[in-house]
Each structure stands twice: as C-alpha cells, then as structure tokens.
Chains A and B, each alone.
Chain A
Amino acid sequence: MIMANFVSNLFRSNKKLTVDEFIVKKTIVSFFFLFVFFGACIWSWKWIRHQPVDPGIRGGVQRPLRNVLNTNEAIFSKILSNHHLAKTYPASEVVKNVRPNGNIGMGNDFDPANWKMYVIKKSGDTLTLTLDDLKKLPKTDIIFNFKCIEGWNQVTRWAGVRFSDFIKAYGLNEEASMKYLGLMTPDEAYYVGIDMASALHPQTILCYELNGQPLPIKEGFPLRLIIPVKYGIKHLKRIGTMYFANNRPPDYWAERGYDYYSGL
C-alpha cells in the first residue's frame, strides 16, 4: 500500500514531490532515457550491419557506409590541388628493397616482348602504343613516400611519362575532360578507376623505371601507374588497357569494400 502510494506519487508534477520521491523519479526517468539511448545504438548498429552489400562499383560494404565514404570524397576531393605535391626526398633516403605487394593481374601467361598498351579513345578508336613510343616523351623522375593502404610506406624512386604530358602529346584532351580514367591489366583481372583530377596531378606518371632501371616484372614491367596522391591499390601494375568514362569504372578493391577514391 505504501509502495503503491509511493509509485503513484511519482506521476505527479515535480513540484508536489518529496525529495525522496523526486530522487527516485528523476533516477528512473534518467536511466530510462540512458537505456533507450543504448537500445537505439544497438538497433542502429544492427541496422547498418544488415544493410545490403551490393557487389560492383558502389559495393563491398554496407550501403550507408558507402554513402558516407562517397560524401567524404565529395568533401575531401575539394582540397585536392595540383599545388599540393607529395613531398619529394633526396636519393639518399631511397630504400634498398622495394616491397612488391599483390600479384593480381600479373599472371604468367604474359609475353613482355609483345606488350602493347591499348588506349580506347572517346570516338571508340583504339590507340596502340609500345614502350618505345612512351620513352620518346619527356621523362619525369620522382622520389616520394609510397603509401600502402595496409599502413606501411617506403621512400622509392620511379620514372616515366607524366600522365598529363602523355595526354597532351597524343591529343587526348577530350578524353581528359571526362570524369574518370580506367586502367586494366592485360588479363583484365585487376582494374582501377581514378578521378581525372588525380590522374592529371603533376606527379602522376606512366612509369617504366624503378631506381633508374627498367621495372622488374614483379613491379609491373613494362608499364605501371605511379600516382602519389593515392594509396598503392590504385598504382596498377602492368597496364594493358586505358579508357575514359564519366561514370566510375570498375575498381577491384572498391568492389571489396575499400573507398573508391582512396586519395591522400
């Protein structure tokens, strides 16, 4: 009876409560809200984890997360500028052992001697290029801190044709005005998509030399991409096909849940 009285009193306005009743009421109400909050957290968590993971360009990770990653890209791609260059280092800081990482798209049924790069133009025509064609263009050398998405980094030295020089030399201005650059290995097992602003960044090169020597097979001989403003996953080795698009080209690691942009 006393208990029932006490409980019914709690429903009165605070002004009419005793101190004890007020303490009990406020405690119950506050803890109720705390538990509701924790419940909401758990519910939101489960909701996110049960959202569809669609494979493909936007996929590899639950949709709400992918949407935020794309929003992050919209925000942080604004600070990408050709004036923000990756820090370069003196030759003395270059590591001795360059770490090759990943061999997807690097199958053995590959004849380096007959390699050609196919550039699919906007018109649909294909431009076929040899390594010698590329070596005729001005050479750009860079020593920078290569960053792997796994978390390690190495100061390494690369050389080749600056991508923007290549675009100019072959009159691909119309292609370069599209939104994305797509690259594929000859066996099409590995593929990346890169926003054009990053591709045209002055430190992005079509690379054929490591430490002044032709690229080792493991590092993507005869030609690979070096794009310091991206994590290593975008530095496609053994370029087979280059194409341009206004929609996101398929991207191997984005399909496996990584950020499509992966810009640094």
Chain B
Amino acid sequence: MKKIVKKHPLAIRWFHWINFPVLGVMIWSGLLIYWANDVYKVGFGDKTLVKFFPQSFYDIFHIPFRLAEGMAYHFVFMWLFFFNGILYVLYTIFSGEWRYLLPNKRSWREAWLVLLHDLHIRKTKPPQDKYNAAQRIAYSAIIIMGIGSILTGLGIYKPIQLGWLIAIFGGYKMTRIIHFALTIGYVLFFLIHIIQVIFAGWNNFRAMVTGFEVVKIKEEPLPLEPSPMPIAVEVSATPISVETSDAEDGRKQNDEDSVEVPESQ
C-alpha cells in the first residue's frame, strides 16, 4: 500500500530550481571576473597546494579575456540571485517551513550520527524528519552563505558608498577573499549535494520536482494519533478515490496498490 506524503511546497521547489541556473551564471561570470586578477592560492610558506586556478581549468571553460562580459552578466544576474534568495527566505519564515530547516538543540549531535551513517561506519539510521540534522545544518548554512555573498558582493560593488560594509568584513581585500571563498563553498556544497541526492534515490529526487514522496505502509488502518513526523500527517490535499465499477470492498481486497488515500482534513 502506498501513501502520498507532501514534502516540498511548490514555492520552495521553484526557488530551488530557479536558483540552480542563476547561481550557475553567477559562478561562471564570477570566474570571468576573477581571471583578471587571479591571485588566490592555498598553501603554507612557499609551498602552494592549490592555485586558483590552473591554466588548463581556464582553457577548458574559455575563461580568459572576458572581464567586461563577466561583469555585465554578474551585475545583471545578481538581481535574480538576490530576489530569488530574499523570496525564499521570506517564504520559509512566513510559511513555517523554517521549523524543518533550522537546526535545533539535537541537530549538532545528530549531524554527527548522520555523517557516521552516511560513511557506513554506523548502522543505525539517525532520525529523519523532512530534513535530517546534517541537512538542517547544511541548508541553513547555505542561506547564511547566500546572505554573505550578497553583502560582500555589495561591498565590493560599492566599496566607497558602502564603506561601512567593507569595514565589517575587514577591508576591501578581505571582502573579496570572503566573496571568493563563499563561491568555493557553493561548489563543494553542490558536489556533496549531488552525491547525496544520487544515494538518496529517485523518490527523494522526485519530491523536489513533484512535491510529494511515496511512502509504503502496511495494510493497516492509518494511525489515529499524530505521526512522529509532523510533515507526514498531511497527505495529498486532493482527496483521491478510485473510480471503479467494482464494489468498494471487492476492490480493496483485489488491488493492493490502488488504495484510497485517506483525507487528512
């Protein structure tokens, strides 16, 4: 027996999928800008561990000599990134979705268990709400990173008119470094995100597109007491009934999968 469980509201799915290409354009145009003065590297003493970026990287992505183009795209798409981000945050606050998103007291300890579980060190599954503890921390961090990108970006854009902003981040140079580092952060987030989505499987991925997850439940009456997962109480808002010429009772016995989904309201 299957049950349809609402997971992601339509608005959040849109914010998510709009952010994907917009952030892509921001990172790409940011690279075109960064190339013009590519001084960042990670190392100690005279030893360079990572240089941002090797020539081969620039060549593959056709980065060189496109500063003007990069700036133009960056200062156009910044508006989309900003408004999409602002609307997402406002929606999360006013819809109450923040309850599933923000880390709580248990999250810090549980995130550790999630990590151990995902690395196959620990067998027991950590509690999985709509988001598990590690997801709560990661998705909240990404919002803070987004705010950081917008503020540092604004500071770099208008370092004199918004001199106070530059001062908060420790000067012009430091503001640029933070802005760059946050971008590296997005790329790392993206890589882990993709891997986790692949491991989590189709049902989880589909939920980000359709909004619902399909949960298999035993052929028993649905629990009357509230589910421990608050999000799971609410099943499909549209009452779904089966249209069949058979008698209701007969159908229920014959067809295991096509079972009437009870209404929550």
Interface residues of A, Cβ cutoff 8 Å to B: 12, 14-23, 26-27, 30-31, 34, 37-38, 41, 60-62, 64-66, 68-69, 72, 76, 79-81, 84-87, 145, 147-153, 228-229, 253, 256-259, 263-264
Contacts and interface: CB of A to CB of B under 8 A. Distances in A.
Contact of B172 (A61, A85, A147): A147
A84 B158 CA distance: 11
A72 B71 CA distance: 12
A228 B37 CA distance: 20
A150 B242 contact: no
B56 to A, nearest CB: 21
Contacts of B161: 76, 79-81, 84, 229, 263-264
Closest 7 CB pairs of A and B: A151-B37, A18-B258, A257-B68, A150-B36, A30-B210, A16-B243, A68-B76
A150 B238 CA distance: 56
A68 B212 CA distance: 38
A153 to B, nearest CB: 6
5 contacts: A19-B257, A30-B209, A84-B160, A257-B69, A264-B158
A17 B158 contact: no
Given A26-B212, A69-B76, A15 B241 contact: yes
B23 interface: no
Say what secondary structure dominates the interface of chain B: mixed
B127 interface: no
A264 B39 CA distance: 22
B2 A19 contact: yes
B83 interface: no
A228 B161 CA distance: 11
Contact of A264 (B159, B242, B255): B159
B71 A37 contact: no
B71 A258 contact: yes
Interface of B: 2-4, 17-18, 21, 33-34, 36-37, 39, 67-69, 71-73, 75-76, 79, 157-163, 172-173, 176, 206, 209-212, 214, 236, 238-243, 255, 257-259, 261
A198 to B, nearest CB: 10
A34 B208 CA distance: 10
Contacts of B240: 14-15, 17-19, 22
A62 B172 CA distance: 30
A22 B209 CA distance: 15
Given A151-B36, A258-B68, A41 B21 contact: yes
Contacts of A147: 159, 172
A211 B21 CA distance: 48
B259 A263 contact: no
Contacts of B238: 14-15
B172 A153 contact: yes
Contacts of A20: 2, 257-258
Nearest to A257: B68
A62 B73 CA distance: 10
Given A14-B238, A79-B161, A84-B161, A23 B172 contact: no
Contacts of A69: 72, 75-76
A73 to B, nearest CB: 10
Given A18-B257, A19-B257, A68-B76, A151 B176 contact: yes
Given A15-B238, A68-B75, A87 B176 contact: no
A14 B68 CA distance: 51
A201 B79 CA distance: 28
Contacts of B158: 76, 79, 263-264
A18 B254 CA distance: 13
